[in-house]
Amino acid sequence: MNCYEDIGLKRVINASGRMTALGVSTLSDEVAEATKNGGQNYVVIDSLIDKAGKIISSYTKAEDSCVTSSASAAIALSIAGLITKGKLSLIEKLPDTTGLKNEVIIQKGHAVNYGAPITTMIRLGGGKPVEVGYSNQVFKEHIEEAINENTVALMYVKSHHCVQKSMVTLNEMIEIAHKNNLPILVDAAAEEDITKYYKLGADLVVYSGAKAIEATTSGFVTGKKEYIAYAKAQYKGIGRAMKVGKENIMGLLKALEIYVNKDKERELESQKEIVNYLVKEINNINGLEAQVTVDEAGRIIYRAEVKVKEEILGINASKVMKMLNEGNPSIHGRKHKVNLGYITFDPRPMIDGDKEIIVKKLKEIVEEK
């Protein structure tokens, strides 16, 4: 039994991905040890935040970085920084930004809800989100014509949650921002490449520590030194409610050290092995049809996508998902296409024995019908 079962909760099989609702990711022994050591000693927090920023930047190749409690906090602190420019009198008034440049332009197809609205994170930092274009089409002119004297920044979201077609590209948004002497913030929370977007010309890039990097609950924003200094200054204001503990910072630093030296090829082979097993076994179950798919947002992630044939089983994908969730262990697949009849299984968070339990449970569900 694990610690959650000890307090009366079900064991969870996470085949959904590194999702906040399921605890994001698990810690390696090395990260857990670094976290414990960080928690068992004292440090001057401001010095730790500065030192962590330098270490993180050695990996991201940016000018500086600011460690945060999460990617969401990093968005809010970054926006607050761009609005207040580090001035204490303005920092202490947040989130009230009356009379200040506070408009943040974001494409309509990027104004997503990832468990909370991204526009809420902009507002937490005192920003006013300005959604441009349409959910199925945004033109450069929509962005350019929305820029005015109150515009403080442009924001681009790189996520599978976003509309993937007919949006203005990041390169185009960077060009528009810099042509108008505006910074651009990229939300790359779950992205795996921690150098790409800054190299492309983004001024600030937000990452989650607990997703691809498999760190403690944490995040960071990396980018131009001036803007990072503005973000750090927010710990004297709204950042107080989002402070990150010393133990989580040390866990993040250790996880980053491991992450940049990880054997990515071997990790991909492991993904394929699990996915191929699931596809082969599930295709032997009447009423289910499985295939290998790749992440819709362009990341190199292999998944098993399962079509639930309602005409054969008499139940739809939503019902199958509900039965998987309600079992013990509670099995969670990706539900992004469940309304279209598909359940997708992500191999990355799965541990030994999980794939066999998933197949066994699916067989039981079908046999009960």
Strand ranges, E, within the chain: 12-15, 64-68, 103-107, 128-132, 151-157, 184-187, 204-208, 219-223, 288-294, 302-308, 330-333, 342-345
pLDDT at 17 over 70: yes
Q: For 220, how many CA atoms within 13 A lie in the half-sphere containing its CB?
A: 33
Please give the DSSP secondary-structure letter assigned to residue 150.
T
Query: Hey, where are the domains in the chain?
Result: 3-22+263-368, 43-260
Please give the Cα distance from 364 to 369 (Å, whole number): 9
Class of domain 43-260 as given by CATH: alpha beta
pLDDT digits (tens, 9 = 90+) for 164-215: 889 999 999 999 999 999 999 999 999 999 999 999 999 999 999 999 999 9
Encoded tokens for 84: 């207040």
Please give the Cα distance from 305 to 325 (Å, whole number): 17
DSSP string, 215-271: -SS-EEEEE-HHHHHHHHHGGGTGGGGG---HHHHHHHHHHHHHHHTS-HHHHHHHH
Architecture of domain 3-22+263-368: Alpha-Beta Complex (3.90)
Least confident of 20-24, 137-141, 142-146, 252-256: 20-24
pLDDT of residue 294: 87
- Assign 88 a pLDDT band (cuts: 50, 70, 90): very high
